[in-house]
Structure 1
Amino acid sequence: MAGGKGDIHIRVYSDEAHLIYEVHDNGAGLDPKEMQRLMINPEKENRGSGVKNVNDRIKLYFGNEYGLFFEWNPEQGTTVTANQPKNEKMQHD
């Protein structure tokens, strides 16, 4: 998709226990090894600290089973999924 038009799709939905956010783009993205390296030590790469920050905050607030999850396909793009548990307060707001 280099130099072409990029598309971003955002989907938010829920199941019985979770609220799920998906963001998909059709760009080249990063392969999973590169993304994992950024999630561990973004300062070394001098980028990606925002992604790591969001992941760390989700895990801190909801637990280690939650956070950001990445799917990458070089021909189709990248999908980032974040999930969190539903809680009673969210259902009443």
Structure 2
Amino acid sequence: MEQSVTLVGVIFSIHRNDQQQSIQLDGIDQFGLIVHIDSDTELLCAHGKAISFDELEISMVVKVEHPLALTMSIPPQTYAYQVMVLQS
């Protein structure tokens, strides 16, 4: 299994189109981190129950497990293995 890291952040924006879903943590525009989410990403509420991408909201505090690798873009981007809502 690939090594991963966990970070806690606040959702500042939510992006969705036909090909991709993502959230931006701790900033907008060139700040923060963009986290890509797909059907393999585990989305959980604070109690550990599954939720949908549509239940994520701006200002939620989330814990994200992602690979060590980040893109060199501004802002950096990564893929989420798991997103857990800690606080709504």
> Would you call these one fold, judging by a TM-score over 0.5?
no
- TM-score between both structures, scaled by the size of structure 1: 0.26
- TM-score between both structures, scaled by the size of structure 2: 0.27
Please say which structure displays the higher CA radius of gyration. 1
